[in-house]
Every structure is written in C-alpha cells, then in structure tokens.
Copies of this chain bind each other. A is one copy, B any other.
Amino acid sequence: MIIVMKQGAAPTEIEAVVNRVEELGYKVHLSRGEARTIVGIIGADDYLLNQDTFEVLDGVEKTVRIMQPYKLASRDFSGAASEIPVGPNAVIGGKKIVVMAGPCSVESREQILETAHAIKEAGATVLRGGAFKPRSSPYSFQGLGEEGLKFLAEAREQTGLPIITEVMSSDDIELIGEYTDIFQVGARNNQNYSLLKALGKTNKPVFLKRGISGTIQELLMGAEYILSGGNMQVMVCERGIRTYETSTRNTFDINAIPLLKGLTHLPVVADPAHGTGQWELVGPVAKAAVAAGADALMIEVHPNPSKAWSDGAQSLTPERFGQLMAELKPIAEAVGRGI
C-alpha cells in the first residue's frame, strides 16, 4: 500500500503515519519528493491492511493499494489452473468445455425430465434448475422448494447428469446439500457473507456468480470468503453487469473472461443468458465466451419458453440448444479445447 501525503504535509504528520505503519508491524519505505512525500508498505501481507486506517490520519491525501486484497483466489497462490471434477464425466477447468444447461426454474417433474434428456442428447454434461428462486417481486413464483430438488435428483438418476441448483440462504444449505452436486450462488447473493462463510464449511463445489454490479475484485473476494473457510472447490461466473445501456438486460463483460484467467486459478464460467437477456443473443455471446477462453458455459434451456414461469425470454428451445452445441464445437477447437 502506498500512502500519499498532502503537499506541504508537516514532518510530525509524516512521522505519525510512519509510526502507525510500524505499530501495525509493517516496514516503511519512505520517499520524499519535491511535491509530495509517499510512505510505502510493500510487505507480503499488504492484503490484510485497510486503506481507511491511514486515510483518516492528518496530512494524508490518499492511499493506493498495490497488491490485490485476496490471496487464496489469486493466480500467485496456485500457478496451475484448478480443476473441479463434477459427476462421473465433467471436469470444470479441464481441457473440455463443460456446458451446464436447463431451465431457470424447475416447474414440474415432466418439464425437468424432458429437458434433462434433451440437453444430455445435445451434449451438455451438467443439469441446472432452480428450486429456490430469488425473484424481484414477492408476487412472482418463488420456486418449488424441496419438491423441485426431488425432481432434479430424479432427472440425475435417469440421465446420469450431475446437478446444480441455487442456494439463497445459509438456512437451506443442509437441505439443498442433500440433493445437489454443485451449490450455485446467485448474483444478488455475491456479497451475502453469511451464506459464503457457511459454504466455505461444506465440501461441495460452489458456483459463484459475479454481483449484479460487482467488480472483478469483489467477485474474487467473494471466492476468498469460501476458500478461506476451507472449501477450495470454487468456480466464478461472469453473468453480465449492470450498465447504463438498456437495450440488453445486462452488459456481458467479455473482458472479464481473459482477465479472470490471468488473475485467478479458479475455473471461469460464462452465463450468456443473464448476460444478454435475449435468446437471440445467447448463441453469439456463448461463442464469444468460448473464443475468449471460458472454461464452462451455463445456458438456459426450456422445452417451451413461452410457457416458462421465469426467464423465458432468454431461454433456448432444446432444438436451438442442440444447434448451438454444434456451432460451439469448431470455436472450442479453434482455441485448443473440446466440448
């Protein structure tokens, strides 16, 4: 961390800053320039420091963080890319791109079974479906709850596909953990630290979505919460961010894919359905994500989108999904991957 003193800061003010740094057990690097004095802290534990601690001291103009505030999630911590095996066939972060597909919400036994068979046939290797749904209106369908989990489990039994479903509260971890193969944390819970801490104590993979307007750093700090709890099976997901542009539901941040691959060893998943909000755009953006280096995709598929209870507008039909899988293949190969 760099502490920049104000122009004309008094020697006693500089001294006070130096003392505070040393009091906290860090070594000081002092640089006195013509215009400013700067106080550097370049120890390996910089990530443990709070900028606030110094910004309130007299004579300090601002502080600048030099190192990332996360450690376990960083590429420095583990040079090698992490691989997370799920079910008998899928390895998230491996050479083959994993496709997770299924409806936004589990609506009925028939719906989820039909979808599971269809996506399996098209080449997906993980089944998704929400049983506990975070809905922006209290008057909207809130999910089937445990009944939905049972339908998902039945679909797994029939198809062999591992399942992923969302957990919204630490209260529900035990119940959902009895059924799911991967815990999904939604964008609205990216900073629900009670939930993240509790997931750090589980031993199942966690799929962590970026917040609705979360930064890359916040995404990795969310992962750090889980990792520091002891659960090293975390994957992070780019799902579009909130911007001023209203012609799409979100702005899919394609930059985040290669950037995350450089910053972290965790697998990176792309969610083009939420990233765009329009099924016509899901295909092109899914292809873009693979071209940019994503390790996995999450795609919403519904047997009859116009009757979907949620997110119909961004769901593919099984036919369209099958076609997309075919189109993704040469892209994956062009970047040295399979699908």
Contacts and interface: CB of A to CB of B under 8 A. Distances in A.
B293 A2 contact: no
A246 B244 CA distance: 8
A148 interface: no
Q: How many copies altogether?
A: 4
Interface string A35-75: 11110111110111011110111100000101101100000
A193 B168 contact: yes
Interface stretch (A25-33, A90-98, A112-120, A201-209): A25-33
Nearest to A62: B66
A31 B36 contact: no
Contacts of A259: 247-248, 281
Given A38-B40, A136-B221, A168-B194, A52 B281 contact: no
A287 interface: yes
A31 B31 contact: yes
Given A188-B192, A193-B134, A334-B330, A46 B53 contact: no
Given A284-B292, A291-B331, A33 B38 contact: no
Given A254-B288, A255-B281, A55 B312 contact: yes
Contacts of A306: 20, 53, 56-58
A258 to B, nearest CB: 4
Contact of A134 (B31, B191, B228, B251): B191
Interface stretch (A122-130, A151-159, A212-220): A212-220
Closest 6 A/B residue pairs (Cβ): A33-B42, A213-B213, A29-B31, A330-B334, A288-B288, A169-B194
